[in-house]
Amino acid sequence: MDEGRRRELEAAGWRAGDAADFLGLTPEEAAFVEVRLALARHLRELRQKNGWTQTAVAERLGSSQSRVAKMEASDASVSLDLMVRSLLTLGATCAEVGQTIAQAA
Buried b (16+ CB within 10 A) or exposed e, 86-97: bbeebebeeeeb
Instruction: Give the residue, chosen from 9, 19, 73, 88, that forms a contact with DNA under the rule CB under 7 A.
Output: 73
Q: Which stretch binds DNA (CB under 7 A): 1-9, 33-41, 73-81, 88-96?
A: 73-81
Write the DSSP string, 29-66. HHHHHHHHHHHHHHHHHHHHHTT--HHHHHHHHTS-HH
| Contact residues for a second copy, defined by CB under 8 A | 28, 31-32, 34-35, 79-81, 84-85, 88-89, 93-95, 97-105
| Contact residues for DNA, defined by CB under 7 A | 48, 53-55, 58, 61-67, 69-70, 72-73, 75-79, 81-82
